[in-house]
Chains A and B, each alone.
Chain A
Amino acid sequence: MSRLFSWEGFLFACLIVIFTFNAVAAPDFLSISNQINLFQLSIEKIILALVMTFVIINAEIDLSVGSMMGLSACTFGYLHQMGMPAALVILICLCIGVAGGLFNGWFTARLGLPSLVVTLATLIGFRGLARVMLEDRGIGGFPDWFAALGQKGLIGPIPFALISFVVLFFVLYILLERSGFGRKTYVIGSNRDVADFAGIDTARHKIIIFTMSGAAAAFAGLLYAARVGAVRGDVASGFELDVITIVLLGGVSIFGGKGSLVGTLLSILIVLNLRNGMALLSITGHIQTGVIGLLLIASVVIPRTKLATPSFLKPEVTP
């Protein structure tokens, strides 16, 4: 019952409204191909949002995910063009993601620098590397199996990326809500000092989460390369802001310690359905951006308005 009157409950109500509106207003909305496209068009961002939920609950931020996606996608294009086998290149790209994540984590957790600064630096740095590698070229001509993985259905009409998203959601859900690792994530996010006193190796924990984020970003970069079949230096630039928007809209507190993967999932569905509905109704990009912006403002303001808001609109407060 408490769940129903929580922020998640409010998001769920919003989702029902948007979904119903789309189904009535746009005749093609419910078609299977559109439902798959709806996810596919933003699949990389929503995969990143799942991992970003961990990062932000842990009271950190990772601004470098878009640039890491770009670096991974560009490395794939570059090395593949040099003639390396695609399977090996994929492995290298994932290793780059892990290394980049370790780098972010090390500087944040061990040296105590703010993650905002560290990942802002790597946002610029990773993007710089990607651009140095590809300069102003676009690279395409990937192997057929790689393109098919990104563009065609793997199980029936459902593509590999969407299956990955679903599997990742369940794995991360168990990790966050049903494991010691998840509980530590919340505790460290609420108060790192307390966690330290309690004997938790908070630095190690943070490094693991940043590494997860880096690896997920590299994976997302590969998915992007497969989906669009060509890469260039500006791949996924600015994606980090969309990812963070989704997570915050899902009720995850930017100060850490609060939030849930279910909230993120609901927020993902809201944003995707909203965008898809507007696209099907041929509403232009500027208005789409404006609507999502208003939604984010609402998500920040509504739960904090004490007087005017009925209690069910306030996010659950952990004692």
Chain B
Amino acid sequence: MKHVLLGAAAAMMLTTANFAYADTIKLEPGKETNMVLLPKFLGILVFDQANEGAQEAHKELGNPGKLEFTGPTPENSTAGQIEIMTTAGTQKQGAVMLSNNAGDQIVPAAEAAQAAGTKVVTWDSPIPGGKGESVFVAQVDFGSIGTVMADMALNILGGKGKMAVLSATPDASNQNAWIESMKTALAADPKYKDIELVDVVYGDDQAEVSYNRALALVDKYPDLGLIMSPTTVGIQASAKAMQDEGLCDKVKVSGLGLPSEMASYTMNGCAPEFALWDFRDLGYLTYFTSYGLATGQLKGEIGETFTAGRMGDYTIEADPGREGAKRILMGPFTVYNKDNVEAAAK
């Protein structure tokens, strides 16, 4: 009976999301496990930054195993991710850290890897259905991204105007979730009522495609006031397109961008405001999570709290956006403008 009561008490603690008294797990360094950091594809700066963060954590934890940073080529992203995931199971890797670009097509490969003892931790972009995934390290709360983007639109457009979204690939689950959450935010509060979302287009996260899509948007909607691009490739390409065509007075650009890539556009007024989180931190936290799971120090259960080095304590929780899936929420957001972008770009 005593056990039952204890169990009930523990369950209550978990469900009320009050973890103040739960034991915080300190990960023991120096355990050996090989891991793979698998981005959507190679050649994107933010993924390289995530790798830097993961390498930092790898050194800090003194893991004698190997940390590989490997990914497919852009035109082969889906098949390449499936191949690397399958191979990781064969190699008996401790964990694969995946920024998923294959939608649910990755599920059989991820489940096979899990069955072979390889943990699958997603970051940046999760597996939509949550199957085959141990836990998702979410950069920010997907719901709050919508509000941040809606607020930036409100500021830039001065409360009234037309906006279009330029996204990455149609099946990037993070992008779709953010666009949805922005639509929800726009509909929820009457202060956004004069902002009209006219279109969503896809630039495939390739600079040239995105550049052309941005120009096509301006042609299609002559009275467009803002291009909102929740991807670092799209926002930079859009800003460059508007700058090259001398349209920055009419059409502004905003979304999620890297300070180092966006500083000049912010200073010349093409992209007055944009937001992002730190991808180095995301890689760092993802590594700690994966290391914990791969070495058996974390079970991957809801309510577990652990210390992720310099970033402090994090807790595994239910993912509000995906039923049955688990996440670790990193947060928070930084909004960049003329005042802080140059400092962040260095």
Residues of A within 8 A of B (CB): 28, 31, 33-34, 37, 40-41, 135-136, 138, 140, 147, 150-151, 227-234, 238, 275-276, 279-280, 282-286, 289
Contacts and interface: CB of A to CB of B under 8 A. Distances in A.
A289 B103 CA distance: 23
A279 to B, nearest CB: 4
A37 B76 CA distance: 18
Contacts of B78: 234
B80 A285 contact: yes
Given A229-B108, A276-B87, 7 more contacts: A136-B171, A227-B108, A228-B102, A279-B83, A279-B87, A282-B36, A285-B42
Interface in B66-110: 68, 70-73, 75-76, 78-80, 82-84, 86-87, 90-92, 102-109
B257 interface: no
Interface in B99-138: 102-109, 112, 128-129
Interface of B: 36, 41-42, 68, 70-73, 75-76, 78-80, 82-84, 86-87, 90-92, 102-109, 112, 128-129, 170-171, 202
B146 to A, nearest CB: 19
B75 A228 contact: no
Contacts of B73: 285-286, 289
B171 A140 contact: no
A237 to B, nearest CB: 8
B105 A138 contact: yes
B90 A285 contact: no
Given A229-B104, A282-B70, A238 B87 contact: no
Contact of A284 (B70, B82, B108, B128): B70
A149 to B, nearest CB: 12
Main secondary structure of the interface of B (DSSP, over half): helix
A282 B68 contact: yes
B202 A136 contact: yes
A41 B81 CA distance: 11
Contacts of A234: 78, 171
A28 B105 contact: no
B108 to A, nearest CB: 5
Nearest to B169: A234
Contacts of A227: 108
Contact of B171 (A138, A151, A282): A138
Contact of A230 (B42, B91, B105): B105
A37 B83 CA distance: 9
16 contacts: A28-B91, A138-B103, A138-B105, A150-B108, A228-B106, A228-B107, A228-B108, A230-B107, A238-B75, A238-B76, A280-B91, A282-B36, A282-B70, A283-B70, A285-B80, A286-B42
Contacts of B105: 138, 228-232
Contacts of A280: 87, 90-91
B68 A41 contact: no
A41 B82 contact: yes
A136 B42 contact: no
A194 B164 CA distance: 60
A147 B80 contact: no
Given A227-B108, A238-B76, A279-B84, A34 B90 contact: yes
A164 B90 CA distance: 24
Given A230-B104, A232-B171, A41 B90 contact: no
Contacts of A147: 108
A153 B109 CA distance: 15
A119 B71 CA distance: 32
B129 A140 contact: yes
Contacts of B128: 138
Contacts of B107: 140, 228-230
A238 B77 CA distance: 11
Ordered nearest first, which 8 A-B pairs have the shortest CB separation?
A136-B170, A230-B104, A228-B105, A285-B72, A138-B103, A285-B73, A279-B87, A282-B68
Contacts of B84: 279
A37 B90 contact: yes
Nearest to A227: B108
B92 A28 contact: yes
A140 B129 CA distance: 10
Contacts of B92: 28
Nearest to A40: B86
B114 to A, nearest CB: 13
A199 B102 CA distance: 51
A147 B79 CA distance: 17
Contacts of A284: 42, 70-71
A121 B29 CA distance: 58
A223 to B, nearest CB: 13
B129 to A, nearest CB: 7
Contacts of B70: 282-285
Contacts of A31: 90
